[in-house]
Amino acid sequence: MCQKYKNFQLLKKLRWATLGYHHNWDTKVYTEDFRNEFPSDLGLLSKIVAKAIGYDYFEPQAAIVNFYHLDSTLSGHTDHSEINLEAPLISFSFGQSAIFLLGGKTLEEKPTPLLIHSGDIIIMTKEARLCYHGIPRILKTDNTPWNTNNFSEEKLANCGIFSDHAIFKSQNEELWKPFGQYLNNSRINMNVRQVLPSGQS
Ligand SMILES: O=C(O)CCC(=O)C(=O)O
Ligand SMILES: [Fe+2]
């Protein structure tokens, strides 16, 4: 089997990664010895989004990154491992579209379907923070903004505070290409959480 094919098969198996505090799927408890520094670019983006909806002191401390392929699903669940459930959960989606089912606090409540496209942000706060949700379907989209040239000088200038980050700095279409190709058949969702009570780090 050629290496390229093996790499592709491996990439298809990748379904999730964790950032910052690594979520322990068995115990559902975040611990200090299972923690890395939170990535600064995703952290900054999350803080800006939180601030825009009135959460001035949001601290991005953990994220789950989900990689979906056209046949992937995520079953209904609640995200309740964080000590701080007052802080919003901020969820960014890229690539293929998805149906997001948002239910209630119990499985008895009928869920509402939301169609999520690349670039959409879902914010779960207050009542919604502990509601059941899941992804029953990934939908192939013809709208592929990630394949357009986003590296023009003008666009870079508009990136403001983000322009320092590596992907913008490189201005290198070649660097971006494999990410774009990946998104042509996949969806990436990054959902960011504050774990600790405000003021604790
Ligand atoms: O993919 C999504 O939009 C949702 C992901 C999610 O609910 C989770 O990782 O907890
Ligand atoms: Fe979730």
Using the predicted structure, report yes or no on whether residue 151 has a pLDDT greater than 80: no
Is there a binding annotation on residue 23? no
Pocket test for ligand 1, best of 97, 101, 191 (most atoms within 8 A of CB): 191
Residue 133 Cβ contacting ligand 1 at under 6 Å: yes
- The rounded Å distance from CA 139 to ligand 2 centre is 19
Give the C-alpha separation, 105 to 116, whole Å: 21
Q: Which domains does the chain have, with CATH numbers?
A: 12-193 (2.60.120.590)
- The pLDDT value recorded for residue 177 is 84
Residue 64 Cβ contacting ligand 1 at under 6 Å: yes
Secondary structure letter of residue 56 according to DSSP: T
Task: For residue range 156-188, list pLDDT tens digits in order.
Answer: 666 666 666 655 555 567 777 888 899 999 999
Give, using CA atoms, the residue closest to atom 10 of ligand 1.
79
Mean pLDDT of the chain: 91
- The pLDDT value recorded for residue 28 is 93
- The rounded Å distance from CA 96 to ligand 2 centre is 18
**Closest-approaching ligand to the CA atom of 78:** 2
| Residues making up the chain, counted from first to last | 201
Give, using CA atoms, the residue closest to atom 9 of ligand 1.
64
Using the predicted structure, report yes or no on whether residue 38 has a pLDDT greater than 90: yes
- Nearest-atom number in ligand 1 for the CA of 89 is 10
Residue 51 has a CB neighbour count (10 Å cut-off) of 12
- Judged by phi (left if over 0) then psi (alpha if -120 to 50, else beta), residue 109 lies in beta
Q: What is the mean pLDDT of residues 8-37?
A: 95
In the structure encoding, which two tokens stand for residue 81, read together? 């491992």
Residue 191 Cβ contacting ligand 1 at under 6 Å: yes
Structural contact between residues 162 and 129, judged by C-beta atoms closer than 8 angstroms: no
In the block, residue with structure tokens 């914010």: 123
Cα distances (angstroms) measured from residue 43 to each of 20, 49, 193, 195: 10, 10, 10, 13
Is there a binding annotation on residue 69? no
Structural contact between residues 190 and 65, judged by C-beta atoms closer than 8 angstroms: yes
Secondary structure letter of residue 21 according to DSSP: B
Task: For residue range 90-148, list pLDDT tens digits in order.
Answer: 999 999 999 999 999 999 999 999 999 999 999 999 999 999 999 999 999 999 988 87
- Judged by phi (left if over 0) then psi (alpha if -120 to 50, else beta), residue 199 lies in left
